[in-house]
Amino acid sequence: MSVQPSDGPGLDTDQLPLNFPQTFLPDRRLLGKLLVFAEGNGGGDKESIGAATGIPTGKSTGKVEPMIHYARGMGMVRASRTAGVWRLGLTPLGRIVRREDPFLSEPLTLWLLHLLLSRRWGREAPAVGVADAWFAFFAEGRFRLGPRFSPSEALDFLTARHGEKRSLKSLSTLVPRMYQEDSSFAAIPVLTLDASAQETVFVRGEAPVERAFFPAYAACLFLLWDEQFSGDRQLAFRDVERETRLLSLLGWSDAQATRWLDWMADKGLVQIDRYTGDAVLLRLRETGEVVDALYSELL
């Protein structure tokens, strides 16, 4: 089902099942427990993992496997499953998060995990996501759904994309609810509720254009670069952005992106050539170095 856990620099590259959450939101506390378990390259069936971590599990469902899938999609864990037995290991990102933000309480951490969960999977056409409901809402849907949308519009959007599926109604409410629940990702304003609207309306936010957050976006860029353009040391930023939908995920204009690109150049992460008009990036650092510096701008 998945690549074997390893010590390589990248992400678990498998696409997740469309309805992998079942009905469960990503719970920061439970994800933190899973990172502790994966740190020791832990393994077992879902019942034994539940017993070891305290993550609830049931006879037919439970939160263990959804949390594993969330952690994979967010780039923190690699996992393989054979005959119902999981083997887990931390990625380099998972290790730095486990060490520096074990309770997943920093908004910087949550923004990076959100971006990775919402990323494109491969370079198939039409484009699909690692966790496709998230990719649909936050990469493709920024223009197709618009800056504001209702629950019914969210369901219609997913139905147009995937056809009539029983799981879509739950998914269409679960994804926005993730950003409303304190135990999940409410600490970052990816989607907020319009309090002035008579009916439920979700409003998109943008990633902070702040120096403290720039290392998270740099880590995301380098991880996506490895995943999508592994053979290239030099790329036009426009090509990277177009293929990965990075600016759509961030909710940024070109001018906002320029501030971040200039920061990366100042930090020696990339060299930027703008002689052709568009920014062409030459990588000067390895991905592991960039990931290790994730929290470097926090006071």
Domain boundary among 204, 234, 250: 204
Which pLDDT value is given to residue 212? 98
Query: Within this chain, do residues 223 and 250 fall inside the same structural domain, yes or no?
Result: yes
∠ Cα 278 13 223 (to 5°): 35
In the chain, the number of structural domains is 2
Residue of 254, 264, 268, 266 lying closest to 218 (CA atoms): 264
Domain-embedded: residue 46: no
Which pLDDT value is given to residue 297? 96
Domain-embedded: residue 177: yes
pTM score > 0.85 for this model? yes
Domain boundary among 204, 225, 254: 204
Least confident of 57-66, 82-91, 213-222: 57-66
At residue 2 the predicted structure's pLDDT band, cuts being 50, 70 and 90, is very low
- Residue 195 φ then ψ, to 5°: -70, -20
Domain-embedded: residue 143: yes
Domain boundary among 166, 182, 204: 204
Domain-embedded: residue 249: yes
Domain-embedded: residue 250: yes
Residues 137-162: pLDDT tens digits? 999 998 889 999 999 999 999 999 99
Domain-embedded: residue 92: no
Query: Within this chain, do residues 176 and 228 fall inside the same structural domain, yes or no?
Result: no
Query: Within this chain, do residues 188 and 223 fall inside the same structural domain, yes or no?
Result: no
Query: Within this chain, do residues 183 and 222 fall inside the same structural domain, yes or no?
Result: no
- Residue 288 φ then ψ, to 5°: -60, -40
Query: Within this chain, do residues 190 and 259 fall inside the same structural domain, yes or no?
Result: no
- Span 98-114, mean pLDDT? 98
Rg of the chain over all Cα atoms, to the nearest angstrom: 19
Domain-embedded: residue 88: no
Residue matched to tokens 């690699």: 78
Query: Within this chain, do residues 136 and 198 fall inside the same structural domain, yes or no?
Result: yes
Domain-embedded: residue 232: yes
Residues 121-133: pLDDT tens digits? 998 889 999 999 9
CB contact at 8 A, 139 and 245: yes
CB contact at 8 A, 211 and 114: no
Which pLDDT value is given to residue 19? 96
Query: Within this chain, do residues 159 and 125 fall inside the same structural domain, yes or no?
Result: yes
Which pLDDT value is given to residue 13? 82
DSSP per-residue string spanning 195-227: TTSSS--EEE------GGGHHHHHHHHHHHHHH
Query: Within this chain, do residues 163 and 139 fall inside the same structural domain, yes or no?
Result: yes
pLDDT of 202 > 80? The answer is yes
Residues 249-262: pLDDT tens digits? 999 999 999 999 99
CB contact at 8 A, 35 and 28: no
Please give the residue range of the domain that contains residue 153.
115-204
For residue 267, what is the domain's CATH number? Answer: 1.10.10.10
